Structure 1
Amino acid sequence: MSGPNSSYDPVQVTPLGEEQVFAMRDAALAAIAAAADLDELKRVRTEHAGDRSPLGLANREIGALPPQARKEAGLRVGQARGAVNQALAARSEELEAEAEDRMLAEETVDVTLPWDRMPRGARHPITMMSDRIADIFVAMGWEVAEGPLVEAEWLNFDALNLGADHPARTMQDTFWTEPAENHVVLRTHTSPVQARTMLTREPPIYVVCPGRVFRTDEYDATHSPMFHQVEGLVVDEGITMAHLKGSLDHFAQAVFGEGITTRFRPSYFPFTEPSAEVDLVCFVCRGTGEVPAPDADGGTGQSVTCRTCRGEGWIEWGGCGVVNPSVLVACGVDPDRYTGFAFGMGIDRTLMFRHGVEDLRSFFEGDVRFSRAFGTEI
């Protein structure tokens, strides 16, 4: 049996020639040196040191050589791959050091500067507006009165001259607690606070009553089953509608700015007689119903209809009137000696007017980014 022909030495595989291997090595070393960052070096590693790289494919060809040439070619390819791997390691170390130095330079923190890692919070805008309104009337010598959110039916309706058949008592308008025979409701307005005040103190009475109220309204951009009202009550000798008008004009100017006045439109409320709707002169167009339109040059051109008041010049704000004598009698006040006035408007609605908020739900969604825009007032 004949043995292997060890003297047979065919021509070497072309990619394993000395010049070709050295050319692959030099190309890899040049690409490694030119890599500007770690991402580019990663790409170079794949192209020149991976399994599908020229040196990687050449290493596969070693097995096709005869024994005499296999050792020499393997040594040559192995040295070239070793040089490439050493260059990759060295360049990687250099680029990592450069990246760290750059990060330290760009992200340097001066630890000697004052710091505040706690994010600044904000009071809720409705709370701030309620406090601001209270401050306005306290400065006029009034007092702030409060009452419970869950109220007796008699104080919420009967004492305020809302009869047993009044539609506001129905389930479509009022939240009733169970059992029904307890005659307890979630207050539908802050007027029960006025009744409580008249029942517990002697005139003269000058109180303002901000607080939450509840009605079975749909929750949308302009309605909510829970909202906020402020009501004012004055009971004293010689009180007239003129005192009411002066108080509301002062209130309007304190909230919306100088020159803002109110007007009364005849209306009906069970607890006041006479009664009126309160309109606020538009604080944008100042009652003209029009505002200048900006032109292309940044100036002002022709006038356009005011969006705030929709061209009417007035904005509906609330309701008011002289306290009905029946309410005074129900609360133990002598109507022959004392007269008074009362008014009420929505705090949420006032805030929407004052700050241009278009969606009532923004006040109740709990987004701190919305509340933070109003800042903090003490």
Structure 2
Amino acid sequence: MATVYQVRHLGLRSTHALKVLSGDRARQDPDTQERFLREGRIQARLRHPNLVQVTDVVTAPSAGLVMDFVEGPTLARHCQEFGLLGQAGALEVFHQVLEAVGTAHRAGVIHRDLKPENIILGMDSRGRMQPKVADFGLAKDLGHEATQTGVVMGTPLYMSPEQIRSSKNVTVRSDIFSLGTILYELLTGRRCFHGQTNVEIMRRIQRGEFTPPEVAYPPIDRKLAAIVRRALEVEPEHRFASCEEFSATLEAASRAGTPRRSMEVPVVSVPAPAHGGAQQEEAPTLPPEPGRPEGLTSTFVRKSRVEQSLMSLVAVAGRFGLLGVLAGLLLVALLIVLAGLWTAGVSK
């Protein structure tokens, strides 16, 4: 386990994130320290705008990874507080995540712990939402494999069936499965697999038992629902072979009628599934991961709701232009004034 701190370089006056091991036992264990530094070496060689970059290490008083500081919430926290991103917003974020993970795959690295808690939503220089994939602590380096056969690593809610059996022999298609569970959440507002215990969750994953996206959230585009189902196939060979294929298939669906960008307003509530039954029971809408202290897997600075709203407004401005946003604000102000006049008239 590790903790991430916001730190400032006194000489350069720059802000960074510092990830350090938690607990005396972990800090004093040579094997744990080596795995931690291995995480840093993997992350340092991966360069992409949507990946958190490790820039340096410190060794005193214990090992620490110096990383890019990303100001923003995790994808999980954003969805908890503001609801769905909307179909266009979800796809815009997800395409960038696919590009980042694809970069890691081409470098011979499989993440093995992809989940909304490990994706941070920052902003790029043009004010657009820029997700960054973080936490390569469980990553598999195909050039230097250290995982023993039979060892299971990862977060049960997002693990592929083959990863549940053993984390040693996973391929890029295991990450594809995890990405499928993330896309499912982004489009439906519900977790794909759920249960009372981790054993129950993993059993459902291995059997492919989940509520179809179009049942969990009826407004979803049917082409997108089919793409999600393919990513969640139990057999790896039936999934997308790469992040590039996954992204290209989504692009084709967009060109066929699914909009990539629109001014969709995030919705806070999600309709319940249309049918009952064991597979159609209502799934939780992104609650915090049980037993996991906050701030352990991401560079996260909590913002107030006002700041988050302004952040979303800036994202819209970057996408549609400042004049469009100003026009929207003027329209909202006009509606508020009219509502006030109507209320005053009724009270008389």
Q: TM-score range by the shorter chain?
A: under 0.3
- Which has the larger share of strand? 1
**Which structure is larger by alpha-carbon Rg, 1 or 2?**
1
If asked which structure has higher relative contact order (CA below 8 Å, sep 6+), I would say 2
What's the TM-score once normalised by structure 1's chain length? Answer: 0.21
